[in-house]
Structure 1
């Protein structure tokens, strides 16, 4: 399941980081992750209104996210409150680590290499697997062979796909005469990645983000959402093999600075408009941890 929901909102004319589901997930990540709380549904509609989302679109998004297991309903009297499911909380927790580091400065020289071969009769499974691989940061090195510099949770990657018998995966290093920079340029669209970061800098690299002390929450949500969606497209390529002027370096600095500046006032605004209830403490252990993971 794709927590950012780019596919289910594909018909929207909004920029991806302005879409209601992505904004809501970033709201929960910034203000409720790690807390056993649920938010009054009307409060969530008020939050989305601050970033220009109409009531009908907001209600439809909340309903869809609940149906798909991203949010869970809780009742208190006649009111409906919405909280994170265990699955969504775990995805956001993992994402929280990534948002702090867009630049891969500590690459160990290893690639995760995944090869697969599916018959023509399973064309739809092949398409789904390719989509999962691209979403996880893999790039197609050649037909049926994909690579990423990240270590990957294979169980999570292949969950729900009946393809395990057709997949081989391992960690490997490159050998001479492979040119790593040339391989990266042939496997990923570096210009598209760079333009995404340049767009972020054009919007958020400003001298005084607190020039207006009111309505900081919308700025925070839009910035966080644009940033997280950028990182979802970034395979985490090692910085030593990227151009010297790689814009993610500056963009990472700007995001961390803006996040620190905006967070206190945004939290005060949330306290003023959001009604919450406490929930019983959940088991913080990821179910996959209890069962064991396969990684490559």
Structure 2
């Protein structure tokens, strides 16, 4: 199980249609919104059922997702009397912290690229299909694209050594940090390496959907709105390697989509926090 599997547990339908929300992605968005910053907090299953029910996830689906996530090492159980509470494991905390950095700190627009690239070359035995899949998945999540079949590239100085080490592939991988020669057409390389159309379509879809929400007013369910917002934004940005803005089309839609995301996020932050205080029954992890 890899980070991208955890954070992108949604159907890979056409980008122009947006994501098909699945219980695990919404569950992680819930814990990221209301538990991650609290540290040792756990939440009563009935509260989780209530909140996810607001975004169309039924009780049975919530219960089975909780069980599955416990079995996958993402959540831990804690009984308090006759009630069952759930909290984050260290693995889920690490993944959600990574996602939080992508969402709230890095942003979708790379305006300060220093001209450097990280290159990773690998050669794996033909029989290592799972290892190859895992490596490619982790590289995609880390912002890499396939320059050639065994040579991947990402903008900036990416610390990918830990990823390779976690997968046990350090002896099969070579990592370089470099700059492109003036003879290299960077914009052409970007178009050849990444599917810019698909990435842009995700941003356009997100912006249209959430601009319509802003136009319709805030509504009366900020906790559900924020849950959908964060889950959809993560789906939108997960395949975007934050390519240098100066080498992208001038009308690159990440700018307006990010502005829309932040407007809705600002609009829902305090109301969702207040509602969570009223709705969620919590306890401290022992």
Q: Deviations over 1:145-195 (max 9, x none)?
A: 000114334344225533211100021110021011110000000000000
The question of whether the paired residues in 2 share the 8 Å contact of 1:23 and 1:221 is answered with yes
Mapping for residues 77-88 of structure 1, pairs under 5 Å: 77-88=81-92
Q: Secondary structure at the match of 2:167?
A: coil
Q: Is 2:26 aligned against 1:23?
A: yes
RMSD: 2.3
Residue 62 of structure 1: which of 63, 66, 87 is its match?
66
Q: Which has the higher helix share?
A: 2
1:261 is displaced (CA, Å) by 0.7
Matches of 2:44 and 2:285 in 1, distance apart? Answer: 13
The corresponding residue for 2:264 is 258
The question of whether the paired residues in 2 share the 8 Å contact of 1:43 and 1:273 is answered with yes
The corresponding residue for 2:112 is 106
TM-score between the two structures when normalised by the length of structure 1: 0.87
Matches of 1:91 and 1:6 in 2, distance apart? Answer: 8
Q: Is 2:142 aligned against 1:141?
A: no
Q: Deviations over 1:42-87 (max 9, x none)?
A: 1111111000011111111111111111111122122111111122
The corresponding residue for 1:5 is 6
Q: Which runs of 5+ in 1 are unaligned?
A: 281-296
1:279 is displaced (CA, Å) by 3.0
Q: Secondary structure at the match of 2:146?
A: strand
Q: Which runs of 5+ in 2 are unaligned?
A: none
Q: Secondary structure at the match of 1:233?
A: coil
TM-score between the two structures when normalised by the length of structure 2: 0.89
Residue 95 of structure 1: which of 92, 99, 104 is its match?
99
Matches of 2:75 and 2:159 in 1, distance apart? Answer: 23
1:15 is displaced (CA, Å) by 6.3
Matches of 1:148 and 1:39 in 2, distance apart? Answer: 38
Over 3 Å counting, the alpha-carbon distance change for 1:9 and 1:102 in structure 2 is closer
Q: Secondary structure at the match of 1:237?
A: coil
The corresponding residue for 1:283 is none
The corresponding residue for 1:233 is 239
Q: Is 2:204 aligned against 1:203?
A: no
1:273 is displaced (CA, Å) by 1.6
Over 3 Å counting, the alpha-carbon distance change for 1:67 and 1:16 in structure 2 is farther
Q: Deviations over 1:200-238 (max 9, x none)?
A: 011011474672541122111111100012121111111
Q: Secondary structure at the match of 2:137?
A: helix
Matches of 2:51 and 2:157 in 1, distance apart? Answer: 36
